Every structure is written in C-alpha cells, then in structure tokens.
C-alpha cells in the first residue's frame, strides 16, 4: 500500500514547510490560516471518475443537478454499478443533462471498470501516481487533471500538484504579484521545491 499522510499533524507540518519557502508563502499562509483540506476517502475510483466527469466544465450546482437526476434512477443504492450505468442509454443520459461526449465517456469508464482498467480502491492503493495517471488517461474524456483529482480526494495522496489547473497557476501569480501566470511546465518545476506537500500547496494556491 502507498501511504499518504493527510492527518491533522501532517497538514500542520506541511503548512509550516511551505511557509518557510519564502516571505510570499509565509504571508499567504498566515492570511489563509490552517490547511482544511478534506478528502473523500473510501470512494471507489470508478465512482470518483464518474463524478469528476459530471463536474467537468460546469458550475457545481448545475453538475449536482445533472448527476442527481442520474442517481435518482437508482433509488435503492448510493451509486449505480458499472453494469447498471452501461444499461442507461445515451438518450436517457442526455435527458439527465449530460452531453453526448460525456455520456460516451461515462459508458467508457463503466466498461473499463468491468475490464479491470479502472482499478478497485484496494488495487489503486498499491499503484504509484504516474502509473495510475498513465493507465487512466488512456480512457476517452479522462485527462490528467481528472486523475489528479482522484489521487488528491479519493486516494488521499499528499504530493500532487495539478499544474494544468488554472486556479493553481493563477493563485501562484496572485501570491507572487506577477503580471502573468506561469505555464504548466514552469509550474511543474516550481512545484518540485514544495514536495512532499504539493497537495497542500495546491490547496493554498486555490485560495489565492
């Protein structure tokens, strides 16, 4: 099992580590306060991916409504199984509010779960970050950012920096008072100095 420490003491230690990076980090962390990062441990990767796709490029309330209409079709359980999701036709998914592209992606995730490409949580806990990313971005509609959200929230990995996330790069620009946000490649280099607390760094940058 690959352990990731996001216990309260680890969050405190990580905030202190980042505050020692430079005066900008110190001021920012003092202004934000303690790290309150909250993961959703226990959620299976299949469910986490389906939920992430539902929220892609949508306001949270709109995504919740669309996902809620899908889940309402399965009142006897908290979340439909891959087999059940595959039985939902694209037309019905469209009536829930999913685009044709998202409907195809959700079916692809469900089938990949049955085929063993999407691992169970127990299996995922044994796989390193890059192995999981490479494995799951092979699926239609699943990008690196989506898998990184799975790593951060479902698998509680403590050293993930989603450099493609606009909020992370814009947060760094604001914290540093820059005229232009760093590129993803530049952000990746900058983030190397924040390891092993890059998940915490992302949390603080999102709040800038």
Alpha-carbon gap, residue 173 to 166, rounded angstroms? 10
For the question of residue 165 being annotated catalytic, the response is: yes
Q: Contact at 8 Å (CB) between 111 and 82?
A: yes
Alpha-carbon gap, residue 84 to 123, rounded angstroms? 22
What are the CB-based long-range contacts (under 8 Å, 24+) for 82-86? 82/46, 82/109, 82/110, 82/111, 82/113, 82/114, 83/110, 83/114, 85/50, 85/110, 86/110, 86/111, 86/114
CA nearest neighbour of 47 among 126, 110, 93: 110
Among the options 5, 115, 164, 165, which is catalytic? 165
Using a 10 angstrom Cβ sphere, with 0-12 exposed, 13-18 middle and 19 or more buried, the burial of residue 35 is buried
Name the residues annotated as catalytic.
165
């Amino acid at each position: 099992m690959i352990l990731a420490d996001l216990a309260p003491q680890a969050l405190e230690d990580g905030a202190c580590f980042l505050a020692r990076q430079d005066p900008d980090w110190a001021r920012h962390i003092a202004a934000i306060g303690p790290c309150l990062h909250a993961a959703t441990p226990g959620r299976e990767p299949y469910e986490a991916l389906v939920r992430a796709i539902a929220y892609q490029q949508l306001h949270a309330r709109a995504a919740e409504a669309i996902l809620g209409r899908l889940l309402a079709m399965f009142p006897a359980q908290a979340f439909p199984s891959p087999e059940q999701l595959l039985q939902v036709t694209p037309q019905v998914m469209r009536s829930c509010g999913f685009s044709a592209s998202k409907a195809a992606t959700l079916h692809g995730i469900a089938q990949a779960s049955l085929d063993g490409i999407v691992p169970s949580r127990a299996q995922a806990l044994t796989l390193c970050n890059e192995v999981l990313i490479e494995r799951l971005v092979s699926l239609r509609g699943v990008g690196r950012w989506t898998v990184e959200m799975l790593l951060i929230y479902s698998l509680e990995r403590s050293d993930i920096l989603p450099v493609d996330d606009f909020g992370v790069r814009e947060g760094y620009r604001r914290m540093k008072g820059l005229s232009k946000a760093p590129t993803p490649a530049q952000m990746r280099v900058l983030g190397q100095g924040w390891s092993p607390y890059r998940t915490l760094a992302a949390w603080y940058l999102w709040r800038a």
